[in-house]
Amino acid sequence: MKQLRYDTEIIKERISRCVLKLLKSEGEPDDARLKEIIANVISEDQDKLMLSLNEKRELAVNVFNSLRRLDVIEPMMQDPSVTEIMVNGPDNIYFEKNGKLFRSEIRFKDKNSLQTLISCFFANSNRPLNEANPISDLRLPDGSRANAVLPPVAPDGPIITIRKFTGIRHDIATLIRQGFINDKEARFLYECVRNKKTIFLCGGTGSGKTTFLNTLSSFIGKDERVVTIEDSAELSLQGITNLVRLEARLPGPDGNGEITIGALIRAALRMRPDRIIVGEVRGTESADMMHALNTGHPGSMCTGHANSCYEMLERLSGMVMAGSGLPFEAVISQISMGIDLIIHITRNRDGKRFVDEISSLMPPVNGEFRLMTLFTNKGGEEVEQHINDEVLEKISSYR
């Protein structure tokens, strides 16, 4: 009988069905056992396959990725140069490399196969994702973050966006060499962190806020007790032994069990922290954060999304008002007293990330915020410095 070379996708599906049939009697094997089962199925099916040894190895990897990993996009997950993966339906996949977006030639078979993969992937981590709950977030074991949206919310097909945790821990010297920050700014921020100035970092998605927050944490004294609070644990603070990490929790399938950022901030106040570091505020938990900053926890840090330092203050005041019910003037006063410095980070069209503004928050006048711009770097190359050493010393000690 003449042997036929089957389409790769057809072969993968057939082998996958055989493996799944065997798994009904095996239970839930670990990765090593699953790879062994796949290899055995391919070996027993070799009479129907006209594949070389290398092609059989590739087939085994593809079958394993389809059953336990992220199928055709798993190679991008394993590529350390890829920092973000964006699947906009089965045949519209993009990835980020070196700060730039590229379209991939990779495709899923159809919408149903992509939706099944995403639903199973989230279900394995107890994250409900279905028509009743079509939007969900997930933190992967390696620290990467995944967000998925299913139809009918996504009419063009299932969407999954993965921001990979690269494991790279930039020190300040590396960031200076990369042009992310200059040496004078770095020295100034080192002194501010050591002297427990409260710092708020802001910028757009993917601008490098978390990376820079991790770097600034290396300036914290080794004998301090630090509590970190995050929606999805991404921070990797350097050199701090007395560290408490808290992570918010989504509600379970029954709608119960949610632990919010605000609840964690309130709990942190009873943990005797020297500093509280909040990964990101985006809602009413801002009121709890500002309460913490004004109750004896100087040197704390936080991040948020905004297009400039001043815009961050405007957004923050609105979020605090929504979460506290305080009048506008009181909110302005509370924010001005609680935050010392605001840092804005941006990413230009070439994908380069850099600190483009460092400002000091001064006492308010007539119920309005006042910012003193200390450093600006609008082009990402030349830095215009508006202050001298005397002014730096004044800013560092005026409170």
Instruction: Give the residue extent of every domain in the chain.
Output: 8-68, 75-163, 172-397
Kind plus residue range of the DSSP H or E element containing 290: helix 285-293
**Residue 49: predicted pLDDT:** 62
- The tokens for 390 are 């005397």
**Residue 320: predicted pLDDT:** 93
| Whether the Cβ atoms of residue 248 and residue 233 lie closer than 8 Å to each other | no
| Whether the Cβ atoms of residue 63 and residue 12 lie closer than 8 Å to each other | yes
β partners of residue 357: 344, 376
Please indicate whether the domains covering 75-163 and 172-397 agree at the CATH topology level.
no
Burial annotation 196-231 (CB, 10 A radius, 16+ → b, else e): bbbbbbbbeeebbbbbbbbbbbbbbeeeeebbbbbb
Task: Tell me: cis bond preceding 75? Omega within 30 of 0 counts.
Answer: no
The topology under which CATH files domain 172-397 is Rossmann fold (3.40.50)
| Whether the Cβ atoms of residue 375 and residue 355 lie closer than 8 Å to each other | yes
Q: What is the pLDDT of residues 372-398, one digit of tens each?
A: 999 998 654 444 444 455 544 544 443
Q: Tokens 């995403």 correspond to what residue?
A: 118
Which one, of 103, 93, 101, lies nearest residue 156 by Cα? 93
**Residue 343: predicted pLDDT:** 97
Q: In what order do the strands lie in the sheet with 145-149?
A: 100-103, 93-97, 82-88, 159-163, 145-149, 135-139
Cα-only R_g, the chain:
25
Q: Tokens 């005797």 correspond to what residue?
A: 272
Span 75-163: which CATH code?
A: 3.30.450.370
**pLDDT tens series, the chain, 399 aa:** 333 334 666 777 777 777 777 766 666 777 777 777 778 777 776 656 667 777 778 778 877 777 777 888 888 988 888 989 999 999 999 999 887 889 999 888 889 889 888 887 887 777 778 888 899 888 777 778 899 999 999 998 999 999 887 655 678 998 998 889 999 999 999 999 999 999 999 999 888 898 899 899 989 998 899 999 988 777 878 778 899 999 888 776 666 788 888 999 999 999 999 999 998 888 889 999 998 888 888 999 999 999 999 999 999 999 999 988 889 999 999 999 999 999 999 988 887 889 999 999 999 998 899 999 999 986 544 444 444 555 445 444 434
Which one, of 244, 250, 251, 322, lies nearest residue 282 by Cα? 322
Integer Cα distance of 241 and 23 in angstroms: 44
Which one, of 100, 116, 82, lies nearest residue 13 by Cα? 116
Q: What is the pLDDT of residues 92-119, one digit of tens each?
A: 999 998 878 899 998 888 898 898 888 8
